[in-house]
Amino acid sequence: MNSTSRTHYTYVDTPIGALLVAGSAEGICEIHFAGALPRPDWTLDDGALAYAAAQLHAYFAGERQAFDLPLQPAGTEFQRAVWTRLCAIPFGETTTYSAIAHAIGRPDAVRAVGAANGANPIPVVVPCHRVIGKSGALTGFGGGMEVKRWLLDHEARVAGRLLF
């Protein structure tokens, strides 16, 4: 990308709607679901984010199970620990908030893990959709429950599993 201080954005057409992808020279900083608008200080630049668009297209086509993108999410140390752990959830699988809390060494922080999961600024690439309730039920998701179910079903199909 051209400038380390400028945030660029593009829209990526996907089966779940047009995703707004934003990033700088350091990496992708935000992904928003269909209907989102860019911030006034962002610059439209499809070419600067072509690498991210290509990986998202491959994911939705079932040709990519992991992303290889530089990420620059803004968040607290705790949130970044949760988001890093989200990236370790295997494609086509799910886990619980409690399991993540244990994995990051904070077993009593289940609610805080849920809040960090909900604050994930880079959904799909940082797979917060793979986190479900302890009972196995689908829980809240910023893109809506239909989108969460679609993403989980998509990954299950590609991975050769049936989840729901």
Q: What are the residue numbers of the active site? A: 128
- Using an 8 Å Cβ cutoff, are 82 and 111 in contact? no
Torsion sign over Cα 45, 86, 138, 157: positive
**For strand 19-24 and strand 27-32, is the pairing parallel, antiparallel, or unpaired?**
antiparallel
d(CA 5, CA 18): 25
Other CB atoms within 10 A of residue 138 CB: 16
d(CA 100, CA 102): 5
